[in-house]
């Protein structure tokens, strides 16, 4: 009986938390008529901002994954000086204010920096450019991928890797045929989290590029310029697009876990 009472208490608390999440989102979804949503979905500015948001976040996720995943394996397999400090540095973008993150990235890619000069050499400025948006998104979201991939590699038994090395397999082959496949579920989950976090970023991105507008910036711009009535339909359309996108990604993740 005591166990059932505890279960009911926790279930009620969980229901309250779900209501707290669902109620504002449901209220937002019901705030605009289907005709208004259809009109907003056809708006070229809205469509372009959604495509820009999805594209820059996806590009940043895939680009940085090439370095983040091998680095996560190093963190999972080796002990070295200042490892705890490095782990703390990895988590730093998660805890600093978003505006401060944007200023930090701006100081790294502005025209008078090495990175900014490299961009100028090939004909563009990172500030006010999709590449700058991508870097801002990646900066705040990269820890999610690194931490998820590291946990995945930690879960892979080292004895399997050592056995393969003993049998003559090269370290590269062991990584790609044993470590990576066994940790892939966590890595895929980390990729989804990084993509989602980058796509929802506002504070860091607006410091780097007000134009071209990603959707969070567009929502803010319409709210400050025209009010809640004009910002709500854009928010709803963006939420619906994101919902469909992530249902597909989660379906892919669930199929990966079953295989």
Kindly list the domain boundaries of the chain, sorted by start residue. 50-209
Examine the pLDDT at 212 and tell me if it is beyond 80: yes
Examine the pLDDT at 256 and tell me if it is beyond 90: no
Quick: pLDDT tens for 91-129.
Answer: 999 999 999 999 999 999 988 888 888 888 877 789 999
CA 212 to CA 1: how far, in whole Å?
A: 60
Interval 216-245 mean pLDDT: 92
User: CB neighbours (10 Å) of residue 110?
Assistant: 17
Fold of domain 50-209: MetI-like fold (1.10.3720)
Quick: pLDDT tens for 35-94.
Answer: 888 999 999 999 999 999 999 999 999 999 999 999 999 999 999 899 999 999 999 999
Residue 4 token pair: 């059932």
* 128 touches 211 (CB < 8 A): yes
Residue 56 token pair: 């820059």
CA 144 to CA 151: how far, in whole Å?
A: 11
Q: What is the CA radius of gyration of the chain?
A: 22
pLDDT for res 233 = 94
pLDDT for res 246 = 82
């Amino acid at each position: 009986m005591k166990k059932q009472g505890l279960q009911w208490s926790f279930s009620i608390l969980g229901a309250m938390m779900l209501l707290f999440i669902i109620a504002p989102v449901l209220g937002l979804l019901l705030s605009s008529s289907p005709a208004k949503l259809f009109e907003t979905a056809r708006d070229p500015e809205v469509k372009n901002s959604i495509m820009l948001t999805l594209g820059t976040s996806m590009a940043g996720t895939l680009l940085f994954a090439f370095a983040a995943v091998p680095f996560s394996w190093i963190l999972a397999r080796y002990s070295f000086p200042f490892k705890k400090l490095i782990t703390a540095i990895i988590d730093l973008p998660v805890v600093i204010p978003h505006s401060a993150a944007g200023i930090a990235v701006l100081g790294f890619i502005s025209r008078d920096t090495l990175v900014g000069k490299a961009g100028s050499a090939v004909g563009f400025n990172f500030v006010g450019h999709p590449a700058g948006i991508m870097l801002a998104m990646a900066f705040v979201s990269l820890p999610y991928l690194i931490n998820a991939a590291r946990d995945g590699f930690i879960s892979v038994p080292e004895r399997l890797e050592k056995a393969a090395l003993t049998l003559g397999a090269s370290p590269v082959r062991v990584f790609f045929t044993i470590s990576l496949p066994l940790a892939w579920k966590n890595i895929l989950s980390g990729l989804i989290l990084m993509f989602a976090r980058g796509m929802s970023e506002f504070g860091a991105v607006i410091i780097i590029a007000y134009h071209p507008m990603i959707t969070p910036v567009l929502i803010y711009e319409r709210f400050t310029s025209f009010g809640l009535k004009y910002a709500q339909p854009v928010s709803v359309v963006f939420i619906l697009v994101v919902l469909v996108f992530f249902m597909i990604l989660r379906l892919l993740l669930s199929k990966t876990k079953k295989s």
